[in-house]
Structures are given as structure tokens and as C-alpha cells.
Amino acid sequence: MPNIRVELLPGRTVDQRRRFAEEVTRAAVEALGARQQDVRIMFEEVAADFVANGGVLASEDPSRSSVVARFGGTPTQS
């Protein structure tokens, strides 16, 4: 049973997560020979000030400002 954990900045819609889950599940079935119903995907939303790249918080990295502006808010409940 493949367990796939995905960490994302908050802000993706349910439809985006659903599409991602469908496509990754198909890939796991094809590449790993897993049964579709056994592929588990867990999404965790991580705020931009809880992620650092190269020692710089994503919330403070000017090279990531457009991504953070779009997806860097607080985690959603849905």
C-alpha cells in the first residue's frame, strides 16, 4: 500500500487536490503495480513561515514572493 505525503503551501482548492490525487494515483498504479484503492495520498498544508529553502523562510524570500502571495496564507480547514 503506497502512502504518499504531499506538503503544500495553503490555498490549493479541493478541485486541485482532487485532480492531483487522481493523477498521482494513476502513476502509482502504473509504476508500482499498486491497486488503485490501496494508494493513499495525504495533503498537509504548511504556512510559508514554517518552510525554509536555503536557510531563508519562504515567507521572507523575495524570489518566492509571487508563490507565497498566491499560496502562502494560513492553512485551510477544507
Contacts 24+ apart (CB under 8 A), 71-74: 71/8, 71/9, 71/10, 71/11, 71/12, 72/9, 72/10, 72/11, 72/47, 72/48, 73/10, 73/11, 73/47, 74/10, 74/47
Catalytic residue among 2, 10, 62, 75: 2
Mark whether 2 is an active-site residue: yes
Q: Which residues form the catalytic set?
A: 2
